[in-house]
Chain A
Amino acid sequence: MNATEYEPVIGLEIHVQLKTRTKMFCGCELSFGEEPNVHTCPVCLGLPGTLPVLNARAVHFGLMIGLALGCEIAGRSQFHRKNYFYPDLPKGYQISQYDVPLCTGGHLGDVRIHRVHLEEDAAKLVHASASGRIHGAERSAVDFNRGGTPLVEIVTEPDVHSAEEARDWLGLLRSTLRVLGVSDVNMDEGSLRCDANVSVRPAGSSGLGTKTELKNMNSFRFLAQGINAEVERQVGLLRAGEQVVQETLHFDPRSGLLTALRSKEEAHDYRYFPEPDLVPLVATPEMVEAARAALPELPAARAQRFERELGLPADRAHELAFRTELADYFEQALAADGSDLDPIALANWIPPLIERIGSDTDPAQSLVSPASLAGLVKLVSARQVSTTAARDVLTRLVAEGGDPAAIVEQEGLGAISDADGGLAEIVAAALAADPDAADKVRAGNMKAIGPLVGYVMRETKGRADGGEVTRLIREQLGLG
């Protein structure tokens, strides 16, 4: 009998730092790596007697996110106090939304959204200890610059079923938030943070297993790595007849391992109650309309447009649209040419570009301008340069920038065509050099054409167009 197959069930909790000018409840400007404790005031330091005042811009951003995710907007939502003692929490409570969040329901792609709510970020702790954690630290310091930064928390339904799906979906969410312009959504810098609730169940069943909460997976790679490790651990436990214990696990990027947080840290009763210092948040129809009007085209809609209007295959359309910087670059290149550049041909040149500049780099930051990529693609389409040679030109462009036509000219990479006379002679030489292959092709075995084309390419240093070479071989062998 086969061992039971297990299916992961994953829900994500995402914290997004909003890119407002000032903090959630005070007038301090947000911080970008300044000296510690310079963006502080009596309010965000939690000095006695101070009161929070809600940042209207953060509410606007929260509404934009809710609308972009297709959520229902609460006409009246409420802030609560979440009580616990920790040095990064100057008031001894975090102001957050609890039972009446700003937005509920909705979906992004195939994943349903449970809720979206507003809250404030904690300050940053720096521990002088080997582990970087508070236990056993000789000294700990608090930097309140980050304290009070506006956060939106997005909680999904448990609709994700693999680590890869989680990673891809988070990528889609990141692009969506990026086009909204509401956050830097940078996982390294913590402006995008993702926790995962992971459980497994026998494949095909509909129940939910005991879940664990995974924290601190601060990159897309770690997210996938952490979920995979946890799924494997849970399946291992169940196969061994053991039980999964509900707990919070901390991902250690250095070891790639998950360790349980000490239960003392977790034994929280947050004693939520309505924040008496703030009146309920009323989202007026005007506020909702203003947020709706501020929505740009979202990645999912953009992918559809690429498919429908530009004829891109679905995969390529998603690949571009779900990374806003790629889609922006693509559309700029398309517009730069001005003439009838084939969008599909252009789109096919984005992956080779990404391969050369590194998958995490925004092509707009590279030396290859959208116009020069468009120029290169146009040279290829006009058969003025072969695909193989164009790849070399692209490598040059990535390294040094410049104009593709000029590089082709300088390096003598222009396509050798029949018209020049030269190509037909090289083909004839190839047939003469490998009569065996020539015979096989003539007899109808087209697989044998490879060595002949290879010969021509070697001789021309890749400047010949593959299609043209094939045509000439067939012609000279009398295959018409």
Chain B
Amino acid sequence: MSDEIVELTASQAAAAVHAGELDPGELFETYRARAAADTLNAYLWVSDRTPAGPPAGEPAATSSPLGGVPLAVKDLFCTEGVPSQAGSRILEGYRPPYSATVVRRLAQAGAPLLGKTNQDEFAMGSSNENSGFGPVRNPWDETRVPGGSSGGSAAAVAAGLAPWAIGTDTGGSVRQPAALCGIVGLKPTYGACSRFGMIAFASSLDQAGPLTRDVTDAALLLRHMVGRDPRDSTSLEFPEPIELPTREDLRGIRLGVPDELVGEGGGVQDGVRRSFEQTLELARGLGATVEPCRLPHAPHALSAYYLIAPAEASANLARFDGVRYGLRVDSGADLVSMYSRTRAAGFGPEVKRRIMLGTYALSSGYYDAYYGTALRVRTKIAEDFRTAFQSFDFVVTPTSPWTAFELGAKLEDPLAMYLNDFCTVPMPLAGIPAISIPSGLSEGLPVGFQLAGPAFSENRLLAAAYALERAIGFDSSPARRRDPGGSTP
């Protein structure tokens, strides 16, 4: 029974609960046990008890639309009374007194907290090797990284240690690990989901997003994440309900392929490019047109991103000063030495690198040249997308130029690591939504296909991604790939 439960997608499990065919307590316990036995270091904390079921009397489908299907939550979401450390030693053991709006909404909709997942420290990284609590391993090949920064969430979903998960995407932190782990990851429109309770990395870019086994699960989870939150001034009411996708073709859909991201400059691996081309063929087969499009400023997105995000982070991370919570290293000497010792001990090297970069970019005399220029580039990139969307429904790229790389392979070269985000960074700079779906394997490792649309086009994005997903027919279970004779549905 337990194996059969794990075979169900989250939507299928919720439907089974609603139909009275599956006990939500058993469902939770199955995943709780699997999460507790995690060998990928995907979890930093796992719930030790089964939550109370939905209130009796009401039909389960209304009182608990998510059916009690447990949710893995990236560590940086604040969860009341539960460790919320943003993958950082500076917050080791920190238990906030409140829960993030998104977590609260999902729990109310019937997705109880299963565990907290590992991540790059403060969401700064593309491999999960920057976690203060050790790297996560990719379930497709445990010598490889799961991507980052939401690597724990992606690995947990791919390995069947969670039915679904949420992460956050700042420059690709949901989409890239989803791609490297062979699952679906969606970064919503900026403002669609409340940021209240998300430990901030770069406030003008951060968005919560679902990591799921398929597009339907992503739509179902997103439906209960979006909406204006009075506690987040930058959040917006989503203009329409999120629909579960049903579209089976792509007739009339115009896909734009930006040469600036997909061409030679992007350094896309051959296997990734092959999978991307095959997916474009499938799209044509479903009725889509595929044409080159222009995003002239996109090659500068990475430079702009690595000024804007660290600048905001340098301020966002100033509160970790040892005064009120988290780590304090007190020499007894004076205030400044307490600050510097605490932060020297609590932050990892990548976080320190970005704080210094951001502090420098905002310094008087440099602000205009660095931060100011980056903001102007950001505006240009948003204009590029607006222009492109006059002729195209979606812009498509490979999600990551590479498949999962070996642990340690890029640690010594931060700039090479940053190139991971080449195709995912332009969208958050423009505030637009983008989804990554698995498009196949390259040398046994998953490849991600990314579609980006205009602000609040999530329903259309999900519909197109769903049609492609059906055509691709990717099997998201690494276990089944490795052991084809094993548990079959």
Q: Indicate if A49 sits at the interface (CB-CB under 8 A).
A: yes
Within 8 A of B (CB), among A275-334: 276-279
B-binding segment of A89-97, A177-185, A220-228, A366-374: A89-97
Work out how many contacts link A and B, with CB atoms closer than 8 A. Answer: 106
The answer to whether A53 and B204 have CB atoms under 8 Å apart is no
Q: A458: which B residues are within 8 A, CB to CB? A: none
The answer to whether B362 and A271 have CB atoms under 8 Å apart is yes
Q: B230: which A residues are within 8 A, CB to CB? A: 53
Task: Flag B36-54 by CB within 8 Å of A: 1 or 0 each.
Answer: 0000000000000000000
Interface residue from A49, A83, A87 paired with B78 (Cβ < 8 Å): A49
Q: Indicate if A269 sits at the interface (CB-CB under 8 A).
A: yes
Q: How far is the CA of A269 from the CA of B361 in the complex (A)?
A: 12
- Most A CB within 10 A of own CB, among B230, B232, B318: B318
Q: Indicate if B164 sits at the interface (CB-CB under 8 A).
A: no
Smallest distance from the beta carbon of B304 to chain A beta carbons, Å?
A: 14
Interface residue from A51, A92, A276 paired with B312 (Cβ < 8 Å): A276
The answer to whether B319 and A83 have CB atoms under 8 Å apart is no
In chain B, what residue has the closest Cβ to A82? B315
Interface residue from B203, B339, B362 paired with A276 (Cβ < 8 Å): B203
B-binding segment of A16-24, A40-48, A164-172, A444-452: A40-48
Q: How far is the CA of A269 from the CA of B325 in the complex (A)?
A: 26
In chain A, what residue has the closest Cβ to B371? A273
The answer to whether B100 and A49 have CB atoms under 8 Å apart is yes
Q: Indicate if B233 sits at the interface (CB-CB under 8 A).
A: yes
In chain A, what residue has the closest Cβ to B229? A51
Interface residue from B77, B198, B204, B321 paired with A85 (Cβ < 8 Å): B321
- Most B CB within 10 A of own CB, among A52, A90, A134: A90
The answer to whether A48 and B312 have CB atoms under 8 Å apart is no
Interface residue from A47, A48, A134, A273 paired with B362 (Cβ < 8 Å): A273
Smallest distance from the beta carbon of A476 to chain B beta carbons, Å?
A: 84
Q: How far is the CA of A269 from the CA of B315 in the complex (A)?
A: 13
- Most B CB within 10 A of own CB, among A53, A85, A271: A271
The answer to whether A49 and B197 have CB atoms under 8 Å apart is yes
Q: Is the interface of B mostly helix, strand, loop or mixed?
A: loop
Task: Flag B305-323 by CB within 8 Å of A: 1 or 0 each.
Answer: 0000001101101111101
User: How many A residues touch B, CB cutoff 8 Å?
Assistant: 30
Interface residue from A53, A142, A277 paired with B203 (Cβ < 8 Å): A277
Q: B317: which A residues are within 8 A, CB to CB? A: 92
Interface residue from A46, A85, A134, A276 paired with B324 (Cβ < 8 Å): A46
Smallest distance from the beta carbon of A83 to chain B beta carbons, Å?
A: 5
Q: A91: which B residues are within 8 A, CB to CB? A: 315, 318-319
Q: B247: which A residues are within 8 A, CB to CB? A: none
Q: Indicate if A50 sits at the interface (CB-CB under 8 A).
A: yes
The answer to whether A278 and B335 have CB atoms under 8 Å apart is no
Q: Indicate if A54 sits at the interface (CB-CB under 8 A).
A: yes
Q: How far is the CA of A271 from the CA of B367 in the complex (A)?
A: 8
Q: Indicate if B84 sits at the interface (CB-CB under 8 A).
A: yes
Q: Indicate if B97 sits at the interface (CB-CB under 8 A).
A: yes
Q: Indicate if A174 sits at the interface (CB-CB under 8 A).
A: no
Within 8 A of B (CB), among A129-143: 134, 140, 142
Q: How far is the CA of A51 from the CA of B102 in the complex (A)?
A: 14
Q: How far is the CA of A50 from the CA of B231 in the complex (A)?
A: 8
Q: How far is the CA of A92 from the CA of B313 in the complex (A)?
A: 12
Interface residue from B84, B202, B359 paired with A48 (Cβ < 8 Å): B84
Task: Flag B118-137 by CB within 8 Å of A: 1 or 0 each.
Answer: 00000000000000000000
Q: Indicate if B278 sits at the interface (CB-CB under 8 A).
A: no
Q: How far is the CA of A164 from the CA of B86 in the complex (A)?
A: 56
Additional A-B contacts beyond A49-B77, A93-B318, A276-B203 (19; CB < 8 A):
A42-B97, A45-B324, A47-B98, A48-B200, A49-B78, A49-B84, A51-B231, A51-B234, A52-B233, A83-B318, A85-B318, A85-B321, A85-B339, A134-B335, A140-B335, A269-B363, A271-B314, A271-B359, A276-B234
26 sample A-B contacts, Cβ–Cβ < 8 Å, listed by A number: A46-B324, A47-B96, A47-B325, A48-B78, A48-B84, A48-B91, A49-B100, A50-B197, A51-B232, A51-B233, A53-B232, A83-B314, A83-B315, A87-B323, A92-B318, A93-B315, A269-B363, A271-B315, A271-B363, A271-B364, A276-B203, A276-B312, A277-B200, A277-B203, A277-B232, A278-B233
Give chain B's interface residues, CB within 8 Å of chain A: 76-78, 84, 86, 91, 94, 96-98, 100, 195-200, 202-204, 230-234, 311-312, 314-315, 317-321, 323-325, 335-336, 339, 359, 362-364, 367, 371
Which 8 A-B pairs have CB atoms at the shortest separation, nearest pair first? A92-B318, A271-B362, A276-B204, A276-B203, A48-B199, A49-B197, A49-B78, A46-B319
